[in-house]
Amino acid sequence: MNPITVMIADDIANTREDIKRLLYFEDDMDVIGEAGDGEEAVAMAKEMRPDIILMDINMPRLDGIGATEAISLELPETAIIIVSIQGEQEYLRKAMAAGAREFLVKPFSASELAETIRKVHDTHQRRSVYLQMPSKEKDTSSPHRQQGRIITFFSTKGGTGKTTLATNLAVCLSQETKGKVVLVDLDLTAGDAAVLLNINVKGTVGDLVQEQDTIDFGLIDSFCVPHLSGTKLLPAPTSPEQAELIQPEHVEQILRVLKDNYDYIVIDTAPVYSEINLSVLESSDQVVLVLTQELPSLRQTTTALKILDTLNYAPRVRIVLNQHSSEAGIKTADLEKSINGNLSAIIPDDRKTVRSAINKGLPFVMSQTGSRVALSVREMVSTLGLASPEGMPEEEGLPRKTLISKFFSF
């Protein structure tokens, strides 16, 4: 296997030497060149065509952002990692917009540097292979298949166990229905689904949206990581600058494609009313609103129900009580009275089982199938009506786009 060829662009010679020392013991990497400014970096990149360029931002003659843009346009086979002491969001945003694939803030360790290089190289290689495929091989969607169902987990209160439920439900659906299931982590700044599944993230939805002109099923599927349960995961971004690149129209396009190619699309969301989340809710067949027995969670849920009702989403909402205890917290009857409705599912408080599963990176519906919490999630598949991938009917009333723009302003 050929080593990953690396070029270093930094105007400080000592820094270049430090980076070379960090990579010295990496057998799968080979530093093939050094540049002292942006113009030299562009010229050397054209001549050497490295796999990876480690690019400093502040350099004479042409800065790293300008050099990144020039190289990205002329050498699409080369991936650029910006390296800088400046971690401000504006620098990160500009670097990613110029074509950089990742951003490292100095100082960093040898393992952090090597891991980033491998991750970026792997993602870039898969992208290159995909782009070289004949058009007829790229889109492997089935035009005559029934559309899948989108199940979105939502809560505006953190700590409800929403991600744990979404992950275990996705795995359970894959096992129980034998259908095609994908878990999409759209908690863009704090997504943990990959951790719960013990998946090593190499490419994320943030990398995916940078291929704006070629977002089809073949490309999306190349970023979906298979799990041993049969479920696939489209991971959340691993850095804030990647999250900033994702727009509602990207998410809408991705979900349309996934709906045409999967039986179930389970989505974990951030606990906020953002443009992206509202776009996800609009696309959803079911919205699973997760609450716990604490008063703050109940208040947030009551408010969420009013907002979702205003947006005409109420028929799609299913309320799930998580971490239920008969010994503490608000009683179930009082919760249902406060929300003026029935709970669709009740998941017992089994923190020992859940904590053990999280630490092992193996969902409890697989590792501890006989536990109360695992049995409750399996029962939830039935109570939510997810036994077969049938579409939900559209609600009557105003178009949801109109209601969204009327209720929120961004």
Residue 69: φ, ψ to 5°: -65, -45
What are the domain boundaries of the chain?
A: 4-132, 149-390+398-407
Count Cβ atoms within 10 A of the Cβ of residue 352 and give its class: 0-12 exposed, 13-18 middle, 19 or more buried. Answer: exposed
Q: Any idea what DSSP says for residue 311?
A: T
Nearest to 172 by CA among 392, 352, 364: 364
pLDDT score for 389:
38
Is the fold of 4-132 the same as that of 149-390+398-407?
Answer: yes
pLDDT score for 132:
58
Q: Any idea what DSSP says for residue 192?
A: -
Identity of residue 409: S
pLDDT in tens, 285-316: 999 999 999 999 999 999 999 988 888 888 89
Name the CA dihedral angle for 114, 117, 123, 124, rounded to a multiple of 10 degrees.
-150
pLDDT score for 400:
45
Residue 216 in contact with residue 208, Cβ under 8 Å?
Answer: no
Q: Which helix (H) or strand (E) holds 386?
A: none
pLDDT score for 391:
36
What CATH number does domain 4-132 carry, 3.30.70.890, 3.40.50.2300, 3.30.750.24, 3.10.129.10? 3.40.50.2300
Q: Any idea what DSSP says for residue 172?
A: H
pLDDT score for 409:
45
Strand order from edge to edge, sheet including 181-186:
225-226, 232-234, 181-186, 264-269, 149-154, 286-291, 317-324, 345-348
How far apart are the C-alpha atoms of 258 and 147, rounded to whole Å? 9
pLDDT score for 42:
96
Helix pair 275-283, 400-407: axis angle to 10 deg: 160
Nearest to 177 by CA among 204, 153, 146: 146
Q: Could you count the other beta carbons within 10 Å of the beta carbon of residue 108?
A: 14
Whether domain 149-390+398-407 has CATH 3.40.50.620: the reply is no
pLDDT score for 238:
84
pLDDT score for 67:
94
Q: Any idea what DSSP says for residue 242?
A: H
Q: What is the 3-state secondary structure (H, E, C) of 46-109?
A: HHHCCCEEEEECCCCCCCHHHHHHHHHHHCCCCEEEEEECCCCHHHHHHHHHHCCCEEEECCCC
Identity of residue 329: G
Beta-bridge partner residues of 408: none
Q: Which residues of the chain have pLDDT under 50?
A: 138, 140, 388-410
pLDDT score for 219:
84
Beta-carbon-side half-sphere exposure of residue 369 (alpha carbons within 13 Å):
5
